Amino acid sequence: MRGSWDESRRAFAAAAEWFVSTVGLVGDRWERPGLGEWDVRALVGHTSRALLTVEAYLARPAATVEVAGAAEYFRTARALAASPAVAERGREAGASLGEDPAAAVAEIAGRVLAVVDDHDGTELVTTAVGGMRLLDYLPTRTFELTVHTADLAAALQARLDVPPAAAAQTLGVIADLAIGDDAAGPLLLAATGRTGLPPGYSVM
């Protein structure tokens, strides 16, 4: 699924703003369980990387397109996602947010959104899985921000007020992954109330 650059920018901005506002609800609960082996601080740190990698990868232009879209990015990245290094980077990113993580996240989001607004999506960036157009890479960051902010909201027992633009793009990526993996049937049945998802079902 590929939308226009303006649609992708709006979805990314909406996801980033939801992340910032949800982090603002943490208060003193940074050591509360977040997701898996992460506490809330590490979960927030990992999620902040969805912003920081946009900035970092724009500073590393690619010569060619090697990964054509968001779904292909996630399929290619599956082996990397299972690495213990991912969990450790989350903890390190959480620690790097300092004494006021909420303020740090707000600053990062404001800075990265301004950087994105200065580009048109045609730029080639060097990602962890190869060269991509920024237009194709940005939805992967919206996906990460949206899904992990939902994780954070669940950990904080806050409302899951997913912004519509971010939800639409994220669900589109999920649909592309399910279709490409021949796993759309169970998802369709579950989403329409026919049955639950099979044990262990995931598009990731």
Does residue 54 sit within a domain? yes
Does residue 189 sit within a domain? no
Interval 177-189: pLDDT, tens: 999 999 999 999 9
Cβ-contact 1, 173 below 8 angstroms: yes
Which pLDDT value is given to residue 34? 97
The total domain count for the chain is: 1
Does residue 64 sit within a domain? yes
Which pLDDT value is given to residue 78? 83
Query: Quick check: 1 pLDDT over 60?
Result: no
Does residue 129 sit within a domain? yes
Cβ-contact 20, 105 below 8 angstroms: yes
For residue 133, the enclosing domain spans 5-180
Cα(138)–Cα(116) distance, rounded to whole angstroms? 9
DSSP 121: S
Interval 8-43: pLDDT, tens: 999 999 999 999 999 999 999 999 999 999 999 999
Does residue 185 sit within a domain? no
Does residue 147 sit within a domain? yes
Which pLDDT value is given to residue 82? 66
Please state the separation of Cα 66 from the chain's center in Å.
20
Cα(128)–Cα(200) distance, rounded to whole angstroms? 26
Which pLDDT value is given to residue 2? 63
Cβ-contact 170, 7 below 8 angstroms: no
Interval 44-98: pLDDT, tens: 999 999 999 999 999 999 999 999 999 999 999 887 766 678 889 989 999 999 9
**In this structure, what token pair is assigned to residue 169?**
């793009």
Helix and strand numbers (H, E) in the chain are 8, 4
- Low-confidence winner among 54-68, 72-86, 123-137, 140-154 (lowest mean pLDDT): 72-86
Which pLDDT value is given to residue 35? 96
CATH number of the domain to which 168 belongs: 1.20.120.450
Does residue 203 sit within a domain? no
Does residue 159 sit within a domain? yes
Query: Quick check: 190 pLDDT over 80?
Result: yes
**In this structure, what token pair is assigned to residue 152?**
């954070």
Query: Quick check: 157 pLDDT over 90?
Result: yes
Cβ-contact 138, 54 below 8 angstroms: yes
